[in-house]
Chain A
Amino acid sequence: MNNFRKTVRNLVPVYVLLLPCMLLLLFMMVYPVYQTVRFSMAEVKLPSFELIFVGLHNFIQIFSKEEMGIVFKNTLVWVIGSIVVKFMLGFWAALTFNVHVRGGLLLRIICLLPWTVPSIVSSNLWRWILQSDIGLLNGSLRAYGLGDMAHNWLGDPNSALYSVLVANAWSGFPFVMIMLLAGMQGISKELYEAGSMDGANAIQLFRYITIPSLMPIIVIVLLLQMIQNLNSFDMLYVLTGGGPGGASETLSLFVYRIGFTNFDFGGASAMSVALLVLAIILFSLYNLKSNKSGKREGAK
């Protein structure tokens, strides 16, 4: 690999390749990040954005709020649940459409349709579907004699979060499906042929060929989904607004409430900085772990 790098490096310094991207991102993001960090440790006087340094006061105030515990629990349930459901649906869909059948293109596009619906429409549509008395779901259940299954999906604190989770999964699973499908295109057929010649059945093929080959993509999609679901907003806001009684309030709704309803930008920034610090800590741990395993490999 060293020879290769040297030869390519002679062609063009790596910076040229990376420059547009890094320039754009760092330029646009450095100011918001810097501003957020400053705000998190200050009392923000509006409208002049005059800052009075207060140290960790904002952090303490935010984390000592009563609802913090519930917000964290909801967020954890939401992120893990969303990822699980979206991955299950996405994998199922990707496996299904990886097989070439007649009309497969059309069916695939149908499964992509949820992704094409803007959130303002999908959130209001699902609200209509799940709402208790005039909703489509309950109405249909009652019409087919399954009225006992009708439930106050959004108004019952026990089911509110999960109901929104299903709606959100509907909207977002096509992304996972597409990524996995793209990844599956890269697995050469010969591997499967060799495997089935050795007598492996479908499940074994899946376990020992599909999954390992897809691992890098799975890891990336997992990572992206964690971050995206952490910031899920529209569905939750329209369907339940975080209710009832905070039963479906996740971190994103909480930060919105602190920032735009309470106008407490110091607090909202503190929350974001805390998230960032958490992410950096996890990243460093992961880095340390991969360094260790790298060391073991290098020692061979």
Chain B
Amino acid sequence: MKKRTRRAVRHTVVYLSAFLLCSFSLFPILWGLSTSLKPEHQLYVQPPKWIPDPVTLEHYMDVFKNKMMLNYFYNSAFIAVASTVFSLMIGILAAYGFSRFKFPGRNTLLWSILFTQIFPRVVIIIPFYVTLKNLHLLGTYAGLILVYLIVVLPVSVWLLKGFIDKIPYEIEEAAIIDGCSIFSLLWRIVIPMTFPAIGAVAMYAFILSWNEFLFALVFSSAETRPLPIGLAFFIDEVGVQWGQLMSASILMSIPAVVVFSLSQKLLVRGLSEGGVKG
């Protein structure tokens, strides 16, 4: 009896807490949603009107009719998926290497890749531009993916290494003695044990590539342009076209939400119970 009431209390606290957090997270987005369904002349009515009257789908229709948007969507999808996959592949290899091996210069290398993040965009953008130009990668998918990898990898490696550090290595040792190859070792043992970290890093890499603006603007051409640039077109000299901006933005966040939902499966699961005990 006591256990059940204790659980009920705990759940109530959790729901209350979640309610507060969700309200905070949600209210700007709800306002954006409301804006996307409002006709233009109702935007700035005071006091603020949350429920549009009448509800209009014209902004969404405008976005769907815009052929460029579809193009931007394909570009964004391709670039983001490629960046995420590559950053995970390269990141896991590097994180494992940094975690399990002590070699000369390990610490220095580890910290120096972190230091690459210190440089402000302003300072980095022109050397990057020149590099991409010399590699003939300006305005290509590969060029942009390359730049995103540079931005995402340091964080990914550090995070993955942090998780791999915590995993007891006895299992791997046992596997090697049994004659396991390094890649099968990684694939069958290390990766399943770091699923939460992989889920988190995948989300991070995806959302960074999906939402990045400045690098996307400068390094892409009209054909390879990703979605955030498309959004920027709704802000011009005449001000912000809120209706289209919000409807495009909401449509644009749907894939991100999908990726996040899928990653949740990786993220929240108990570590395999059959771990080696003490």
Contact = CB atoms under 8 A, between A and B. Distances in A.
Specify whether A and B are partners.
yes
Given A99-B14, A113-B29, A21 B157 contact: yes
A209 B207 CA distance: 32
A116 B251 CA distance: 11
A99 B11 contact: yes
Task: Specify the main secondary structure of chain B where it touches its partner.
Answer: helix
Given A20-B90, A185-B196, A185-B268, A113 B149 contact: no
B94 A18 contact: yes
Nearest to A213: B166
Given A111-B22, A259-B123, A20 B159 contact: no
Given A18-B98, A228-B117, A36 B213 contact: no
A197 interface: no
Contacts of A186: 163, 166, 196, 271
Contacts of A28: 128, 131, 146-147, 150
B120 A20 contact: no
Interface residues of B, number: 106
Interface in A33-47: 33, 35-36
Given A32-B128, A33-B116, A118-B249, A113 B200 contact: no
A18 B112 CA distance: 14
A118 B246 CA distance: 11
Contacts of B252: 118
A279 B18 contact: no
Interface stretch (A56-64, A175-183, A240-248): A175-183
A96 B118 contact: no
A113 B26 contact: yes
Contact of A260 (B122, B158, B256): B122
B11 A231 contact: no
Given A116-B253, A118-B231, A186-B271, A20 B94 contact: yes
B101 A272 contact: no
B228 A21 contact: no
Contacts, number: 288
A211 interface: no
Given A117-B249, A124-B245, A7 B173 contact: yes
Contacts of B101: 5, 8-9, 14, 17
A181 B268 contact: yes
A1 B168 CA distance: 11
A155 interface: no
A28 B147 CA distance: 8
A223 interface: yes
A194 interface: no
Interface string A119-133: 111101110110000
Q: What is the interface residue range for chain A against chain B?
A: 35 or more
A116 B256 contact: yes
A227 B119 CA distance: 9
A11 to B, nearest CB: 5
Interface in B219-233: 227-228, 231-232
Contacts of A122: 28
B169 interface: yes
A140 interface: yes
Interface string B113-130: 111111111111011101
Interface string B5-42: 00000110011011001101110110110000000000
Most buried by B among A9, A110, A118, A179: A118
Contact of B118 (A22, A216, A275): A275
B127 A35 contact: yes
A124 B127 CA distance: 29
Interface stretch (A65-73, A101-109, A156-164): A101-109
Interface string B141-180: 0000011011001110111001101100100110011000
B195 to A, nearest CB: 8
Contacts of B256: 116
Interface string B203-218: 1100100110100000
Given A14-B101, A25-B150, A97 B94 contact: no
Contact of B46 (A20, A33, A134, A271): A134
Given A28-B128, A113-B257, A217-B163, 4 more contacts: A4-B173, A14-B97, A268-B123, A276-B119
Closest 5 CB pairs of A and B: A17-B97, A21-B94, A143-B47, A32-B127, A182-B196
27 contacts: A7-B176, A11-B185, A17-B93, A24-B146, A25-B116, A25-B153, A35-B127, A89-B21, A92-B21, A99-B11, A105-B264, A108-B264, A109-B261, A113-B257, A121-B231, A124-B235, A129-B31, A134-B44, A142-B46, A178-B200, A185-B268, A188-B275, A189-B270, A217-B163, A233-B120, A255-B123, A268-B123
Interface of B: 10-11, 14-15, 17-18, 21-22, 24-26, 28-29, 31-32, 44, 46-48, 89-91, 93-94, 96-98, 100-103, 107, 109, 111, 113-124, 126-128, 130-131, 146-147, 149-150, 153-155, 157-159, 162-163, 165-166, 169, 172-173, 176-177, 181-182, 185, 196-197, 199-200, 203-204, 207, 210-211, 213, 227-228, 231-232, 235, 240, 242, 245-246, 249, 252-253, 256-257, 260-261, 264, 267-271, 275
